[in-house]
């Protein structure tokens, strides 16, 4: 098992260095990137299986006592999210390999290696057991995202990249200051010890720490009112990059909020989180309705969906947190797939602006079918995965008698459907328009590349259907991981 964790943490780092060295030999670089992502994904599947069977797995690096050294903790929550995150990255890397000939494709020199660094950061952020390593892994994720966002150096990317970098850098500075506060108050960075010591602090100090980290992680997760950087910066990146960001970056922020605020028993912050959740849902979807570009609509939906995960956490009940975990699990691949379909739309029309595309369903019926499934899933229609996730959240809300947030959640679902219908009407129905002239010269739609992109997206869509089909056992696992988080068994498992 410790070998498994070693592969998961070190594998992406080592192959990132190798891939950067091999960046000019495209076949070797791509083979290395894909194979190491494949190895890491399979390892995380094994980890998921073992943790689900045997319970939480703890590795103390260098055999130091958890109080002194760095620990890696693979509990069921971490294993679930890690598996789905890595599977999502693998799908995007495959898709980006096929997209390369296009003007919207990212630069192959950098994407493979930097994506591997991002993978390493994601694994470390999910598995780490202390706050400072979490900070370092956040920096790894953010630095690679800065590079991925701006590496083409086009004016809109530089413009939005400046806002993005400054916002996230400020949040990182707040994170470090928060670490100083936590250390001054408790004398440790280890999350298991913090889970014991923070509830014992004076209420004011504990709430201060809770609110501070809500702001820190909330900026990365784009919750209300800290979301304005997201819809501006994400759509300017190449589609594959936006797909990774959409599926992973904000979700890691949500993962940390769920992890930190449940184990340190911040139940008193519940009402604040619920209000933020409701406003995040509402403003995200209203923003989406006002947009006129596929990528921008989808970016606003990221914000709206973050609200649902926060809603589950804000209820601070086992059912609520389990709903949030299931929602996170469903949302990462679904959102990424929607952006990949957005990439297909862009590739086949030469634009992602709703005004300039029309009648795509008759020209490319497969893209229409691939869009319909995740779009309906995002809106929460049965029998797709989004329905199960939203049902569990609404059910938890009713159990906790939090009527306002349930009403908001259901209302936002309708608005989500409306804005998906808007994309459908404008892009897929209507008269056919001619493809933009400059686009005809690129080779994206010729032969096997296009077919391979469609096939990759199809596999990912099938994956989201598998999530819907296995919702029963996933729900059972979410409940188990939520009760592990809520009944403070985390610290006893780590410090045993």
> Whole-number minimum distance, CB 153 to other proteins, in Å?
6
Provide φ and ψ at 60, rounded to 5°: -100, 120
Which of residues 66 and 320 has its CB atom nearest to other proteins in the complex?
Answer: 66
Query: HEC states along 379-433?
Result: HCCCCCHHHHHHHHHHHHHHHCCCHHHHHHHHHHHHHHHHHHHHHHHHHHCCCCC
- Work out how close the CB of 162 gets to other proteins at its nearest, in angstroms, rounded to a whole number: 5
Q: For residues 438 and 170, what is the distance between their CA atoms, to the nearest angstrom?
A: 40
The Cβ of residue 243 has, within 10 Å, a number of other Cβ atoms equal to 29
CB of 405 to other proteins, least distance (A): 27
Are 432 and 357 contacting, i.e. CB atoms less than 8 angstroms apart?
no
- Note the residue count of the chain: 496
Cβ 190 to other proteins shortest distance, Å: 11
Residue 185, CA distances (Å) to 178, 196, 205, 217 in order: 10, 13, 8, 20
Q: Which residue's CB is nearer to other proteins, number 202 or number 441?
A: 202
Instruction: Rank residues 227 and 329 by Cβ distance to other proteins and give the closer one.
Output: 227
Q: Where does residue 23 fall: left (phi above 0), alpha (psi -120 to 50 degrees), or beta otherwise?
A: alpha
* Residue closer to other proteins, measured from CB, 179 or 454: 179
Q: Write down the least CB distance from residue 62 to other proteins, Å.
A: 14
Q: Tell me: cis bond preceding 225? Omega within 30 of 0 counts.
A: yes
Please state the closest distance from residue 167 (CB atom) to other proteins, in A: 10
C-alpha to C-alpha distance for 106 and 237, rounded to whole angstroms? 8
Q: Compute CA distances 239 → 96, 166, 246, whole Å.
A: 9, 22, 10
- Please identify, using beta-carbon distances, which residue of 287 and 374 lies nearer to other proteins: 287
Q: How far is the CB of 158 from other proteins (least distance, A)?
A: 5
CB of 236 to other proteins, least distance (A): 9
| Between 113 and 270, CB nearer to other proteins | 113
Degrees, nearest 5: CA angle 66-68-74: 30
Q: Can you give the binding site for other proteins, defined by CB under 8 A?
A: 132, 136, 139, 143, 146, 150, 153, 155, 158-163, 165-166, 169-170, 172-173, 176-177, 179-181, 183-184, 189, 228, 231-232, 287
Query: Is the CB of 187 or the CB of 472 nearer to other proteins?
Result: 187
β 71-74/57-60 pair status: antiparallel
Give the integer Cα–Cα distance in Å for 370 and 462.
10
Q: Please identify, using beta-carbon distances, which residue of 157 and 348 lies nearer to other proteins.
A: 157
- Rounded to a whole number of angstroms, the minimum distance from the CB of residue 102 to other proteins is 23
Q: What six digits make up the tokens of 11?
A: 């594998």
Q: Give the other-Cβ count within 10 Å of 304's Cβ.
A: 24
Distance CA 348, CA 239 (A): 13
31 versus 147: smaller Cβ distance to other proteins: 147
Residue in the block written with tokens 């606003």: 300
């Amino acid at each position: 098992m410790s070998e498994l964790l070693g592969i998961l943490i070190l594998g992406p780092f080592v192959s990132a260095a190798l891939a950067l060295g091999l960046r000019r030999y495209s076949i070797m670089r791509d083979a290395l990137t894909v194979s190491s992502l494949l190895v890491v994904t399979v390892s995380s599947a094994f980890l998921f299986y073992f943790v689900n069977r045997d319970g939480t797995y703890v590795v103390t690096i260098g055999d130091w006592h958890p109080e002194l050294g760095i620990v890696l903790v693979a509990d069921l929550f971490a294993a679930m999210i890690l598996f789905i995150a890595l599977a999502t990255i693998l799908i995007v890397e495959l898709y980006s390999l096929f997209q390369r000939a296009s003007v919207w494709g990212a630069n192959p020199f950098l994407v493979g290696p930097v994506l591997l660094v991002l993978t390493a950061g994601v694994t470390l952020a999910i598995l780490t057991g202390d706050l400072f390593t979490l900070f370092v892994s956040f920096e790894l994720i953010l630095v690679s995202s800065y590079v991925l966002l701006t590496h083409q150096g086009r004016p809109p990317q530089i413009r939005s990249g400046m806002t993005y970098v400054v916002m996230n850098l400020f949040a990182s500075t707040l994170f470090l200051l928060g670490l100083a506060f936590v250390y001054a108050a408790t004398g440790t960075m280890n999350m298991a010890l913090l889970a014991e010591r923070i509830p014992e602090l004076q209420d004011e100090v504990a709430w201060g720490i809770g609110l501070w980290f809500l702001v820190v992680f909330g900026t990365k997760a784009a919750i209300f009112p800290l979301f304005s950087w997201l819809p501006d910066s994400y759509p300017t990146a190449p589609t594959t990059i936006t797909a990774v960001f959409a599926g992973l970056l904000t979700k890691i922020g949500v993962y940390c909020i769920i992890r930190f605020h449940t184990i340190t028993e911040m139940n008193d912050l519940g009402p604040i989180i619920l209000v933020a959740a409701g406003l995040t849902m509402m403003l995200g979807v209203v923003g989406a309705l006002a947009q006129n570009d596929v990528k921008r609509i989808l970016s606003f939906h990221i914000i709206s969906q973050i609200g649902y995960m926060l809603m589950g956490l804000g209820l601070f009940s086992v059912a609520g947190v389990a709903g949030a975990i299931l929602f996170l699990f469903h949302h990462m691949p679904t959102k990424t797939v929607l952006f990949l379909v957005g990439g297909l739309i862009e590739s086949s029309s030469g634009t992602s602006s709703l005004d300039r595309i029309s009648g795509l369903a008759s020209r490319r019926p497969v893209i229409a079918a691939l869009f319909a499934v995740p779009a309906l899933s995002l809106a929460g229609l049965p029998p797709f995965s989004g329905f199960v996730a939203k049902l569990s959240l609404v059910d938890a809300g009713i159990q906790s008698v939090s009527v306002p947030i349930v009403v908001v959640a259901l209302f936002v679902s309708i608005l989500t459907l409306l804005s998906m219908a808007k994309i459908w009407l404008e892009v897929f129905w209507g008269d056919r328009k001619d493809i933009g002239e400059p686009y005809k010269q690129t080779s994206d739609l010729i032969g096997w590349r296009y077919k391979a992109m469609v096939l990759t997206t199809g596999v990912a869509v099938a994956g989201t259907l598998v999530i819907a089909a296995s919702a029963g056992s996933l729900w059972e696992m979410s409940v188990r991981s939520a009760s592990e988080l809520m009944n403070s068994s985390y610290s006893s498992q780590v410090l045993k």
